[in-house]
Structure 1
Amino acid sequence: MSLRLLQHVGVDGTRSVIAATSAGAAFVTGVDSVCALAERAIADGTDLAGAVAAYGTGASVDIAAELAAGRLMSPIDHVDPAHVVMTGTGLTHLGSAEGRDKMHRAAADAEKQTDSMRMFLEGVERGKPGPGERGQQPEWFYKGDGSGLVAPGAALEMPDFAEDGGEEPELAGIYLIGADGTPFRLGLCLANEFSDHVTERHNYLWLAHSKLRQASLGPELLVGTPPEHVEGMSRIHRDGAVLWEKPFLSGEANMSHSIANLEAHHFKYDLFRRPGDIHVHFFGTATLSFAEGVTTREGDVFEIEAAPFTLPLRNTLTRAAPRLVSVKAL
């Protein structure tokens, strides 16, 4: 039975961890965060399932009801959000270059292969290296710190200067850096990586700007070996009706890079192996409503669901109030 971990906050503000399997869900006794649970597992030389067993479980809980009541948090966080690093990789999925190419060809010679297509094909060729080999490095971007991580069910807010707020349905790897600098993968989450595709389309060198946005994780952290094949559905609801929907695929069977290769090229940098830090790394997608001509607007609801996750990820699109930031000289 696959183990899923969730973080819960009660009406009185008390935090708890929930362990869920196909047999049901129950509160884990004596621990108030997935990070603390992972630290216990590392210290004991066991895994997360072993740490859950060491703490034990108590009262059963209906996780769907708790999600509906708004009592499920992001499945990972840190007492100091600055110690959560959000990053990601693009052009990692079979078919992902097509949507990106549509965006970038307007600024490129139609007879010339774009940088996006070249990078994608290099990943297809060398993105799944054998044991002991170093594969092709992927496209990589920085997304922000933990202050930009939005709880499941909460609003995704685009800045007042944003040109667009678009969904990106994908998987995210969750990691904790151990005391000796070893990255430990805690598991995978369903994710909406949420980007500004109009800004990116204007000039692909603005990709870095387009990614500095919030993101949301589904409420469940899937523990254990990552599934080879994940098939889900991405939807946009508007005014109570489905505006757009399309299936999406993830997992290594549908990727041009292995997860191990993406991890190796992220954690090869010393600054990403700082003990105690949490990393949320988005693995990319090949399915975007923007690539099919959809223009989102405030009030739209993004919905992403995929087995083996049992709960959907829903977020409403909002826009921040205008604010002009100025710098003062000292």
Structure 2
Amino acid sequence: MSIIFECEYQGRRYAGHGIPATGSTLTLFPVADGQLRAALVAGRGPEDLGAALPGDGERIEVALGDPGLRFLPPLLPTASNNSLVNGFMGTHRSKFDRAPEPDEEFTPPNYYIKGFGSWLRLPDEPLTTQSDPVWLLEEPEVVLVYANDEQGVPHYAGYTFGNDLNDIGLHLKNPWAWTPYAKLCETSIAPWLFLGTPPETVTGTVTIERDGGQAWRGDFSCGADSLFHRIPDMADYLFRHPLLRRPGLVNYLFLGADKATYHDGFRIENGDRMVLDVSSHGVVLANEVRYGAAAPEQHGFPRPESEPA
């Protein structure tokens, strides 16, 4: 299966093929912001993205560890920030007490909007949470990537993997009202875009590192064979909504996660390093957790004289 990525190097945008190995040298081709998205919506689908990278002409060679190199979320429109991070909750079979019937009528799972695509973080970048989370939860997930054309038709580009870090403790205090607050943690995403249909089987391990050692380890699965809901049903239902079909929008759609650290009674703490090894696909997402600063006092906000600041 073809894999492509985009990156920035010395102020210019580039693209390349494959997942680079540690210590390797990357062959990068210059691309404009939006060039690959345009190739997607002008063509027949993901297969046209790989062909959009030039085989000849200008290219550069860059070492993987070069400090001037920074990878980007797949197809991220940096100029316009016209991108959305959103996803589904409670989609896995492990969270149901039965298996779905083959002809069962589709019932949409719960849905959330996380934020703008520019809020996404890459591997080895820290993920910031609120200053006093109740109980954090890592969530290894398949992420579908779509780009809308100028008529508002969504075009599927491929898939990658993400870690939807959130405060499940806050969510559980009030599941019907506080979930949007619980989701206000930074999210990481792999830059590697797999140009194929959503994966049937995805397996790997989560390791939480603390003070240089392993504090927790467990397995996960997040492919279509682990889901209670059918992926085409979820995507079709979501794109009924016109706001998600805005022309030019790039949509990062998280498909939900299996049980993880919280379900084993483990608490992620400030400074822990989450290592999500998607071993079935050769992808590793590692990010340190950082509690954010406490909220500053609001300037210029009117308060009654009797109310303390």
Fold agreement, TM-score > 0.5: yes
Q: Tell me what 2:200 maps to.
A: 228
Q: Tell me what 1:190 maps to.
A: 161
Preserved CA contact (<8 Å) 1:150 1:156: yes
Q: Tell me what 1:256 maps to.
A: 228
Structure 1 residues 211, 81: closer, same or farther in 2, change over 3 A?
farther
Which among 4, 11, 15 is matched to residue 13 of structure 2? Answer: 15
Aligned mates of 1:85, 1:265 — CA distance in 2: 17
Q: Which amino acid aligns with 2:181?
A: H
1:1-330 aligned at under 5 Å gives the runs 2-10=1-9, 12-20=10-18, 27=27, 29-33=29-33, 35-43=34-42, 45-57=43-55, 65-66=64-65, 71-80=70-79, 82-97=81-96, 124-125=99-100, 135-205=106-176, 206-324=178-296, 326=298, 328=301
Gaps of 5+ in 2: 303-309
Q: Which amino acid aligns with 1:269?
A: H
Q: CA deviation at 1:221?
A: 1.2
Q: What is the TM-score when the length of structure 2 is the normalising length?
A: 0.85
Alignment partner of 1:71: what SS?
A: strand
Alignment partner of 1:53: what SS?
A: helix
1:154-193 Cα deviation digits (max 9, x unpaired): 0000122432432111111111111111111111111100
Structure 1 residues 82, 163: closer, same or farther in 2, change over 3 A?
farther
Q: CA deviation at 1:253?
A: 1.3
Q: CA deviation at 1:286?
A: 1.2
1:109-167 Cα deviation digits (max 9, x unpaired): xxxxxxxx7xxx6xx547x769xxx7221111111112421122100001224324321
Aligned mates of 1:141, 1:302 — CA distance in 2: 23
Count of residue pairs the alignment pairs up = 296
Alignment partner of 1:57: what SS?
A: coil
Write 1 or 2 for the structure with the bigger share of helix. Answer: 1
Preserved CA contact (<8 Å) 2:93 2:228: yes
Gaps of 5+ in 1: 98-116
Aligned mates of 1:265, 1:143 — CA distance in 2: 18
Q: What is the TM-score when the length of structure 1 is the normalising length?
A: 0.80
Structure 1 residues 265, 48: closer, same or farther in 2, change over 3 A?
closer
Aligned mates of 2:153, 2:272 — CA distance in 1: 40
Alignment partner of 1:271: what SS?
A: helix
Q: CA deviation at 1:42?
A: 2.0
Q: Which amino acid aligns with 1:73?
A: L
Alignment RMSD, CA only?
2.9
Structure 1 residues 250, 51: closer, same or farther in 2, change over 3 A?
closer
